[in-house]
Structures are given as C-alpha cells and as structure tokens.
C-alpha cells in the first residue's frame, strides 16, 4: 500500500517525534519514519492511529487512484514565491469533532460574503483558549453573537462585535462558545 503519511505530516508541519507522541499509545519517531517510507508495513490499525495523531481521516493517508492530490507548487513568503525544496501536497480541510460553521452572507469586518468560518465548540472551562479570537456565542431564543473575545471573568464573556463603531458586549454564563479555527474562502 502506498501511503501519503510523510506528505500529510509535512503539510501539517509536524516532526516525526510530534506524531509519535500524539499516537495513542505513543510510539517512537523511528517507527513513524519506517511506516512513512514503507520499510514497515502499514496495517489498518497503524493507519488509524497515525490519522488520529495527524487530525485527518485514514483515507487521507492512502494514495487512491480516483482522487487527485493537490501538489504544492510554490511557497509564498515576505520575499516572494519560491519553489519548495521537496515535493509536498496539501491535506484537504476536515472538520474536527464538535465543529460548527458560520456562513457569511454579507461582508463585515475581515469577512466577505460567501466565506465559511469553521469553529470549534468550547465548554466554559476552555473559554480562555479563545481569547483574542473570533467566537460565536449562543444567546436566548436561538440567537447568536459573533465577535472578538476580549475578556473573560467569573462566568461573563466580553465581546467586541465586528465592524467599526460597535461597543463591547458582555454576556453572562453562555453554555458554550465556538472559536473560529478555519476560514474557507473562494477567490
């Protein structure tokens, strides 16, 4: 079986050690390297373990004849576009467990009509992870607020709505919030 473990790992900017540590149970970087190069046979069990460690589906780690890979043609940096030093492909975006989406219907703040914002739901003890990030917060009667989380204290969250001229809003005891983690935009 021909795998794409190395390409996906590099696309995620992870080292062999980081993937080995993320496996459940953890393994050695040498084992991950052998599985990448084909020196060691990749079983379905290993494929699932590595996929979980990389945050992708197991099918993303296998070369399939009917699926086109998207090769990285160039790396864009402050000094322009450069050819990559080695072959690489990009992993398709996959939602995480607990993900929700916000579909943008009209431009506001940094968002344009047609954008999709993928968000990861967080429970109240994890709200601090979303500090200074855009978040979706539920309100009573099926309404929501979307803005930048600028403060958190004793069950209250402080949001700065998108766009100019809006005032800070304070919400008490939201049951969850969803932190923006990925922007999907067509050009």
All CATH 1.10.260.40 domain ranges in the chain, comma separated: 5-90
Mean pLDDT on 109-138: 93
Look at 186 and 89; give whichever has higher pLDDT: 186
- pLDDT given at position 1: 58
Mean pLDDT on 29-48: 91
- pLDDT given at position 87: 78
Mean pLDDT on 122-126: 93
- pLDDT given at position 66: 63
Which CATH code for domain 99-184?
2.10.109.10
- Between CA 103 and CA 4 the distance in angstroms is 32
Contact 28, 67 (CB under 8 A): no
Tell me the CATH class for 5-90: mainly alpha
Asked if the model's pLDDT at residue 38 lies above 90, the reply is: no
- pLDDT given at position 64: 64
Q: What is the pTM of this model?
A: 0.63
pLDDT per position as a tens digit, 5-26 = 988 888 888 999 999 999 999 9
Tell me the three-class secondary structure of the chain, residue by residue: CCECHHHHHHHCCCCHHHHHHHCCCCCCHHHHHHHHHCCCCCCHHHHHHHHHHHCCCHHHHECCCCCCCEECCCEEECCEEECCCCCCEECCCCCCCCEEEEECCCCECCECCCCEEEEEEECHHHHHHHCCCEEEEEEHHHEEEEEEEEEEECCEEEEEECCCCCCCEEEECCCCEEEEEEEECCC
Residue 7: C-alpha distances to residues 15, 42, 89, 120, 186 (Å): 12, 15, 6, 25, 24
- pLDDT given at position 65: 60
Round the CA-based radius of gyration of the chain to a whole number and report it.
Answer: 20
Asked if the model's pLDDT at residue 29 lies above 90, the reply is: yes
Look at 95 and 102; give whichever has higher pLDDT: 102
pLDDT per position as a tens digit, 132-185 = 999 999 988 889 999 999 999 888 999 999 988 889 999 999 999 999 999 999
Asked if the model's pLDDT at residue 72 lies above 70, the reply is: yes
pLDDT per position as a tens digit, 54-69 = 988 888 888 766 666 6
- Between CA 86 and CA 1 the distance in angstroms is 22
- The CA-to-CA distance between both ends of the chain, in Å, stands at 36
Residue 128: C-alpha distances to residues 119, 123, 134 (Å): 15, 10, 12
């Amino acid at each position: 079986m021909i795998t794409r473990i190395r390409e996906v790992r590099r696309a995620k900017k992870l080292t062999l050690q980081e993937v080995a540590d993320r496996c459940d149970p953890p393994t050695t970087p040498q084992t991950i390297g052998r599985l990448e190069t084909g020196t060691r046979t990749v079983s379905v069990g290993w494929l699932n373990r590595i996929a979980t460690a990389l945050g992708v589906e197991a099918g993303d780690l296998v070369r399939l004849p009917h699926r086109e890979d998207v090769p990285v043609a160039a790396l864009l940096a402050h000094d322009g576009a450069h050819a990559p030093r080695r072959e690489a492909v990009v992993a398709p975006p996959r939602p995480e467990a607990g993900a929700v989406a916000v579909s943008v219907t009209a431009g506001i703040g940094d968002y344009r009509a047609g954008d999709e914002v993928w968000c990861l739901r967080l429970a109240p003890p994890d709200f601090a992870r979303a500090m200074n990030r855009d978040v979706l917060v539920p309100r009573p009667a099926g309404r929501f607020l979307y803005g930048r989380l600028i403060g958190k204290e004793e069950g209250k969250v402080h949001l700065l709505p998108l766009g100019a001229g809006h005032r800070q809003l304070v919400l008490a005891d939201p049951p969850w919030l969803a932190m923006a983690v990925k922007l999907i935009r067509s050009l």
